[in-house]
């Protein structure tokens, strides 16, 4: 519990209406899009960097934990107050501070919704490349914290490739500018790449208060193909072959038969109901390149026994297919009372093998597993369907998930491609890293966040031996 005096002081900084501390209000901030819950002691809504700095200074003496939060769409518990304390909600810091098209830059507050930035520049022919499926809700501050991906990061890179500078508040309340200025370019800034290490640190190093991003010129042409397959195996062989032939689509997504049924029932996007799997592949660029690539992809699909390869006829059909894909996680909620989403990554040549293994793991544990994922970069999202009310199932789903994670690591992959480690996968990190690796991460943390009160109990594990995930899976209905 927080001292009443602290609450009064918080209200003095952000205004009476900017602080929540009643239990019924706090319950809304107990969860995010993930599997964990943790109740904060208060939530504050600053309007400016100065107010954030004020909050950080106020809470420094009591070493009160602070956690930044955007839209709460995260999938690993990154925005939860794991150790209690204060959640800093960025919903009032949602201004686009500057758009500088001539220099291909924008500067935004952390609470700006991802898609709003693209909306602000698309009429002029530009876009912000990272496009997580939750982009209609998730914030750029959250994207930076998690180093968010999305379907089109296959061609354009993830968030870190599009962030050139950050303004952050350090644990002592000091405001520091990292990397380039509004128009500068961080790779060339002399000195250590502090921006680069801050992106993807899951909010555990400092509180981000402003972000300078690159904008990109929209492509001349885009073509969306839907490859329809009888089996997941054929579809995954196709992806491995597209990669091996070094064809580089802008996006390459897979939906398996189970998820197709749910997606189609939810969105009526025109996905086939009787297919084993589909690949949603998009090519972008100049007309000439798009034509050639689309032809190559069509050819590879057919070489792997695609039943049919469709091309979206117009923008509306394309939009529908993407709406289906981006809302797929939510649609899966139709199939079972709960599901548990994984975020493993594997080398792309291993896709056919690993998907067969995941199916086996599901069967052995008695679960159906849906697969909706970024196939082109090997980023799997197996969705394990279960009933959370059944304690026995609940125990087994965690065991099955851990087995899938171990499989990804054994195959030369990683525990997370875009959702983050957060609270969820923290104790599995020893599968990937040694004590010395963690010690090096701790060093970085000490520099920025010496007493560890900024987003505590995330990313770096307590125990250096791997444990199972210690999570309590719940239903999720937000995007990935």
Partner 1 sequence: MPAATSLLEQLSGIVGATEVIVAPEELRRFSVDGKVPGAVARPGSADEVVEIVRLARSDRLALMPAGGFSDAQLGNIPRQLDVVVSLARMNQVLAYDPADLTVSVEAGATLAALEETLEAHQQFLPVDSPSSAATVGGILATHAGGPLRYGYGTVRDFTIGMQFVTGEGKIVKTGGRVVKNVAGYDLAKLMIGSLGTLGIITSANFRTFPVPPRTATLAAGFASLESALEMRRKIVHSVLQPRALDLLDREAARTLRGDTPEVEQTAWWLLVGVGGVEALVARHATEAEKLAKESSASSFLELAAEPERQMWEGVRAFRERLAARYPAMIVVRASLPLTQLGAWLKKAQEVAARSGLLLAVVARAGTAVGYACLLAKEAGRATIGKMAQASTELTHSAMSLGGRAVIEFVAADVIEVKQQCHVWGPTRQDFLLMQKLKREFDPDGVLNPGRYVGGI
CA distance 198 to 315: 37
Interacting residues with partner 1 between 306 and 365 (CB under 8 A): 345-349
CA dihedral for 195, 197, 199, 204, sign (positive or negative): negative
Tell me whether residue 191 or residue 462 sits nearer to partner 1 (CB atom). Answer: 191
CB of 205 to partner 1, least distance (A): 8
Q: Using CB under 8 A as the criterion, what x/- string covers residues 459-478 for binding partner 1? A: xx------------------
Q: How far is the CB of 368 from partner 1 (least distance, A)?
A: 26
User: Which of 28, 265, 292, 315 is the binder for partner 1 (CB under 8 A)?
Assistant: 292
- Return the number of the residue (15 or 184) whose C-beta is nearest partner 1: 184
Tell me the per-residue interface mask from 195 to 234 with partner 1, x by CB under 8 A, - otherwise.
-xx-xxx---------------xxxx--------------
Number of alpha helices (DSSP H) and beta strands (DSSP E) in the chain: 15, 18
Q: Say which residue the tokens 């109990």 belong to.
A: 457
Q: Does 392 bind partner 1 (CB under 8 A)?
A: no
Number of chain positions touching partner 1 (CB under 8 A): 90
* Binding test (CB under 8 A) with partner 1, winner from 244, 265, 315, 399: 244
Contact region with partner 1 (CB under 8 A), list: 4-12, 80-88, 132-140, 438-446: 438-446
DSSP per-residue string spanning 112-136: SBHHHHHHHHGGGTEE-----TTTT
Q: Does 288 bind partner 1 (CB under 8 A)?
A: yes
Q: Based on CB atoms, which residue is closest to partner 1, 194 or 336? A: 194
Alpha carbons within 13 angstroms on the beta-carbon side of residue 368 total: 15
CA distance 314 to 308: 18
Query: How would DSSP label each residue in 150-168?
Result: -TTHHHH--GGGGEEEEEE
H or E stretch at 395: helix 391-410
The reply on whether position 158 binds partner 1 by CB under 8 A is yes
Cβ at position 377, least distance to partner 1 in Å: 4
Asked if 451 interacts with partner 1 (CB under 8 A), we say no
CA angle 57, 58, 59 (to 5 degrees): 90
In the complex, least distance from residue 336 CB atom to partner 1, rounded to whole angstroms: 27
* Rounded Cα distance, 248 and 262, in Å: 29
Distance of alpha carbon 75 from alpha carbon 425, whole angstroms:
11
* Site track 42-71 with partner 1 (rule: CB under 8 A), x = hit: ------------------------------
Q: Of the two residues 13 and 171, which places its CB atom closer to partner 1 in the complex?
A: 171
Q: Find all residues with CB under 8 Å of 272, minimum gap 6, and list them.
A: 228, 260, 264, 278
Question: At 375, phi and psi to the nearest 5?
Answer: -65, -35
Q: Which stretch binds partner 1 (CB under 8 A): 24-32, 45-53, 436-444, 462-470?
A: 436-444
Nearest CA to 78 among 424, 330, 405?
424
Q: In what order do the strands lie in the sheet with 105-108?
A: 96-100, 105-108, 207-214, 163-169, 175-179
Site for partner 1 in 363-382 (CB under 8 A): 374, 377-379
- Among 134-142, 185-193, 325-333, 470-478, the segment contacting partner 1 (CB under 8 A): 185-193
User: Distance between CA 73 and CA 346 in Å, rounded?
Assistant: 24
Residue 248 makes contact with partner 1 by CB under 8 A? yes
Nearer of residues 295 and 366 to partner 1, judged by Cβ: 295
Among 27, 28, 439, 475, interactor with partner 1 by CB under 8 A = 439
The reply on whether position 133 binds partner 1 by CB under 8 A is no
Q: What six digits make up the tokens of 443?
A: 């060093």
- For position 122 contacting partner 1 by CB under 8 A, the verdict is no
Identify which of residues 76 and 393 has a Cβ nearer to partner 1 in the complex.
76
Report the C-alpha gap between 285 and 297 in whole angstroms. 15
One residue of 48, 103, 231, 368 binding partner 1 per CB under 8 A: 103
Q: Determine which residue in the list 5, 23, 123, 190 makes contact with partner 1, applying CB under 8 A.
A: 190
Using CB under 8 A, which of the segments 131-139, 249-257, 287-295, 312-320 binds partner 1?
287-295
Q: How far apart are the first and last CA of the chain?
A: 33
Under 8 Å between Cβ of 175 and 154: no
Nearer to partner 1, 62 or 450 (CB): 450
Q: Is 377 within 8 Å of 348 (Cβ atoms)?
A: yes
């Amino acid at each position: 519990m927080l001292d009443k005096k602290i609450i009064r002081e918080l209200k003095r900084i952000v205004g009476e209406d900017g602080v929540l501390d009643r239990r019924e209000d706090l319950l809304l901030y107990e969860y995010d899009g993930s599997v964990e819950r943790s109740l904060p002691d208060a939530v504050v809504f600053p309007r400016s960097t100065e107010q954030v700095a004020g909050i950080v200074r106020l809470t420094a003496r009591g070493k009160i934990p602070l956690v930044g939060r955007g839209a709460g769409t995260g999938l690993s518990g990154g925005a939860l107050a794991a150790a209690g304390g204060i959640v800093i909600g960025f919903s009032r810091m949602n201004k686009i501070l500057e758009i500088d098209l001539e220099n291909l830059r924008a500067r935004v507050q952390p609470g700006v919704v991802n898609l709003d930035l693209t909306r602000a520049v698309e009429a002029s022919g530009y876009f912000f490349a990272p496009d997580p499926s939750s982009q209609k809700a998730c914030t750029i501050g959250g994207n930076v914290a998690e180093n968010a991906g999305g379907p089109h990061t296959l061609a354009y890179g993830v968030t870190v490739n599009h962030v050139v500078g950050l303004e952050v508040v350090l644990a002592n309340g000091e405001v520091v500018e990292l990397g380039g200025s509004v128009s500068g370019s961080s790779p060339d800034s002399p000195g250590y790449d502090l921006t680069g290490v801050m992106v993807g640190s899951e909010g555990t190093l400092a509180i981000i208060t402003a972000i300078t991003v690159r904008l990109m010129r929209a492509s001349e042409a885009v073509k969306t193909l839907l490859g329809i397959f009888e089996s997941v195996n054929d579809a995954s062989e196709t992806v491995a072959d597209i990669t091996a032939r070094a064809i580089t689509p802008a996006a390459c997504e897979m939906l398996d038969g189970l998820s197709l049924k749910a997606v189609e029932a939810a969105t009526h996007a025109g996905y086939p109901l009787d297919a084993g799997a589909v690949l949603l592949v998009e090519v972008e660029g100049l007309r000439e390149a798009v034509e050639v690539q689309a032809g190559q992809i069509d050819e590879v699909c057919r070489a792997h026994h695609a039943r049919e390869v469709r091309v979206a006829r117009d923008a509306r059909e394309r939009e529908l297919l993407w709406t289906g894909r981006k809302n797929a996680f939510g649609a899966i909620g139709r199939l079972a009372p709960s599901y548990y989403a994984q975020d493993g990554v594997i080398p792309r040549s291993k896709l056919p093998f690993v998907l067969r293994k995941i199916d086996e793991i599901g069967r052995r544990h008695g679960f159906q597993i849906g697969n909706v994922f970024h196939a082109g970069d090997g980023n799997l999202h197996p969705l394990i369907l279960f009933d959370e009310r059944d304690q026995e199932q609940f125990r087994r789903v965690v065991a099955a998930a851990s087995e899938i994670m171990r499989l990804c690591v054994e195959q030369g992959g990683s525990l997370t491609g875009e959702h983050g480690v957060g609270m969820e996968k923290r104790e599995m990190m020893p599968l990937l890293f040694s004590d010395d690796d963690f010690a090096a991460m701790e060093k970085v943390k000490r520099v920025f966040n010496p007493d560890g009160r900024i987003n505590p109990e995330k990313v770096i594990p307590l125990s250096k031996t791997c444990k199972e995930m210690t999570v309590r899976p719940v239903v999720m209905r937000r995007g990935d």
